[in-house]
Amino acid sequence: MAAPYSPTVRRRRLSAELRRLRAECKMTLLEAAKKAGMGKSNLSKIEQAESKTVPAATLDKLLDLYEVDDPETRSAMHELSKLAGQKGWWSQYKDLLPQILADFEAEACALRTYEAQVLPGLLQTPEYADAIFRANRVRDDDEIAQRVAARVTRQGILKRANPPTYQAIIDEATLRRIVGSPEIMGAQLQHLARMAARPNVDIYVLPFSAGAHPATEGSFVIMDFPDRRDSSIAYLENPVTSMYLEEDHQIRMFNDMFGGAQGCSMTPAQSLTFIEGILKTTEE
């Protein structure tokens, strides 16, 4: 029977991690359940976030089975399980569990984002992303290459069959800031125009002329999910941590911010014309 309550961020995260670990070990649900000494239905409920908690002993069996030996990662998984019933999570584990945002993006049926400083990650070209990472003082070329590859992989959700709807409000300053070089920025604007032509993507340019607007406090992403029992998630990020919010009053606040900023923005058609106009200036 389906869970009569919405899985929290922590519980969904724990379930996704356990599914991923089992898949990496190339085990079926039945094989993993047998080896862990538990019923297939019980493991299925854990992996589908239908169990409110996962007993510590059960989690240890699964982590042992999946050969998770790193103490910090195991500790993070136990923290997820222990606090699974609580909402509103300051994630301290984004380096240990880096797939958090990508997994939620992949599950979402709709994404709405406001970006004030750089273009949204799902709309960046590899060269633009490379320049952003270097500006953020990532110096190791291999690490930069890995980050760029991960970002490009995330972008696949917008081109898959039955993609999520994607609405992006982009501040005019973001479009006018030359990132990398004029050539890189020109290619980025061309890519942005191509993405804006996709039926599931709407881009709204928030012009300087809008003045003060409801989203002046910073960038954010709102993710909605196809199962109405799953609460929407608002995502914010800074250099040291990530924040996932899902309380009703928090989501209402971000919905209001997005709607207010959208009302101050150009329409998608006007925005595309505006982007093409900036592109012409970069080519002159």
Q: Are residues 62 and 113 in the same domain?
A: no
pLDDT above 70: residue 12: yes
Q: Are residues 156 and 271 in the same domain?
A: yes
Q: Are residues 243 and 104 in the same domain?
A: yes
Q: Residue 93 falls within a domain, yes or no? A: no
Percent of the chain with pLDDT over 70: 90
Strand locations in 22-107, DSSP E? Answer: 89-91
Q: Residue 227 falls within a domain, yes or no? A: yes
β 110-115/220-224 pair status: antiparallel
Helix (H) or strand (E) segment spanning residue 224: strand 220-224
Nearest-angstrom CA–CA distance, 159 and 155: 8
Q: Are residues 176 and 258 in the same domain?
A: yes
| Mean pLDDT for the stretch of residues 41-49 | 90
| Mean pLDDT for the stretch of residues 195-218 | 93
Q: What's the CATH number where 174 sits?
A: 3.30.870
Q: Residue 58 falls within a domain, yes or no? A: yes
Nearest-angstrom CA–CA distance, 273 and 193: 9
Half-sphere exposure of 72 (CA within 13 A, CB side): 6
Q: Residue 65: which residues within 8 A CB-CB, separation 6 or more? A: 25, 27, 32, 35, 36
φ, ψ of residue 177 to 5 degrees: the values are -75, 125
Q: Which domain holds residue 69?
A: 9-85
Q: Are residues 19 and 78 in the same domain?
A: yes
Nearest-angstrom CA–CA distance, 259 and 257: 6
User: Looking at per-residue confidence, does 50 or 55 come out higher?
Assistant: 55
State residue 11's pLDDT score: 80
Q: What's the CATH number where 45 sits?
A: 1.10.260.40
The domain total for the chain is 2
Tens of pLDDT, residue by residue over 161-199, are 999 999 999 999 999 999 999 999 999 999 999 999 999
pLDDT above 80: residue 283: no
